[in-house]
A = this chain, B = another copy of it.
């Protein structure tokens, strides 16, 4: 299974440690530069919409199976966390479109490091993506 890079993320976060722990904590505007052959797939996206952005965490540790999450005092398997380090570093953020043209999107809400490969964009649909679960309210 080989991923296609559909674009590049231009971010003010240059190295690990500069990015916040969650995209939602970021107020920075980032640019999603779409490669020419994929631009037509942006047709219909609009300013103000929320989107799910999936990018490749190319600086992640793909060998990590356990981690101690921030604020926790014991190890968890990486699948029980939001750690960027995992076998497939598919990073997932919900972001808001601030502006759009045919080559790029300006968005807020990402935790990406600069030049991360962009993989996918989906429209965010609350009825599909959002649900209640008290057990998961605490971060891990």
Query: How many monomers of this chain does the complex have?
Result: 2
* Residue contact A65 to B77, C-beta cutoff 8 Å: no
Contacts A6-B88, A41-B78 aside, 12 further interface pairs with beta carbons under 8 A come to A1-B58, A1-B119, A22-B128, A24-B128, A38-B65, A82-B128, A88-B119, A90-B119, A90-B120, A94-B130, A126-B136, A129-B130
The chain B residue with its CB closest to the CB of A93 is B128
* Residue contact A45 to B137, C-beta cutoff 8 Å: no
**29 A–B pairs (Cβ distance < 8 Å), ordered by A:** A1-B5, A1-B117, A3-B88, A22-B127, A24-B127, A40-B65, A40-B77, A41-B65, A41-B77, A42-B79, A42-B80, A43-B80, A79-B121, A79-B123, A81-B123, A82-B122, A82-B125, A82-B128, A88-B120, A94-B131, A123-B140, A124-B131, A124-B133, A125-B137, A125-B139, A125-B140, A126-B132, A129-B130, A130-B131
> What is the interface size of chain A, counting residues whose CB is below 8 A from a CB of the partner?
64
User: Does A103 belong to the interface (CB within 8 Å)?
Assistant: no
User: Does A92 belong to the interface (CB within 8 Å)?
Assistant: yes
* Residue contact A135 to B49, C-beta cutoff 8 Å: yes
